[in-house]
Structure formats: structure tokens, C-alpha cells
Amino acid sequence: MISKKQQRLRRARQTRAKILELCAARLTVFRSNSHIYAQVIDDSGSRVIAAASTVESEVRGQVKSGATVEAAALVGKRIAEKAKAKGVEKVAFDRSGFRFHGRVKALAEAAREAGLQF
């Protein structure tokens, strides 16, 4: 029997294969039980252009817990600002096999509102 983690990683692999065909920078999201992390990775997949997470001290001071929708929205806003500062406007959204729901959805919508296009 395949574990939930293996199923998620299989979905992530399929998504990343499709994004590779697009030749676009990708906004990758990882969520744990206590935090959420986002990275913008260049189209070759070898270099991180920008990163934001609830572990950063600036974010930790603003939110009570890193495992909330509000914290995810704040991380989405920060990653969009950092990416735009580096000159990245268009990205492909890589949800890493997680459902587009809750914290992952909040991060994506906040990044769109802050000006990232995907």
C-alpha cells in the first residue's frame, strides 16, 4: 500500500514534469504542521530566486502561529514582493502535491494580489 506522503510526492512529480515543459520559474510551496514555506525557483530548477516562510523573524513577530491561513497569506505577500524585486513577474504554481485548499490556497491568492502572475 502506498503511503499518503508517497502519493503526494507522486502528484508533485507529475506537476513538476508539466512545469518543466513550460520553461517558467516556479513558485513552490511546502507546508508542515507548524509552518509554511515558499520558494521561487528559476526555470532550470537549479537556483532559488526568492524564499519566504513563517520561520522568518519578521513573519513570526506578526503572526501568533505559523500554521494558520493568515500566516500563509502573509508569506504569499512576502514571496511576491521578493520575486518582483528580483524581476520575476510570471511563475508556475507548484503546490507540491498538496490540495489547493486552506493554507496553500491562501498563499496563492495573496501572491496573486501582490502582483505575481500564474
Q: Residues 101-113: pLDDT tens digits?
A: 999 999 999 999 9
Full-model pTM = 0.94
Task: Copy the grid coordinates of residue 62.
Answer: 506578526
- 109: helix, strand or coil: helix
Q: What's the rounded mean pLDDT across residues 94-99?
A: 97
What's the pLDDT tens digit per position in 41-89? Answer: 999 989 999 999 999 999 999 999 999 999 999 999 999 999 999 999 9
What's the pLDDT tens digit per position in 1-44? Answer: 999 999 999 999 999 999 999 999 999 999 999 999 999 999 99
CB 98 within 8 A of CB 104: yes
Phi, psi torsion values for 21, nearest 5 degrees? -65, -30
Task: Copy the grid coordinates of residue 67.
Answer: 500554521
β-strands 26-31, 36-41: how paired?
antiparallel
Segment holding 71, helix H or strand E: helix 69-85
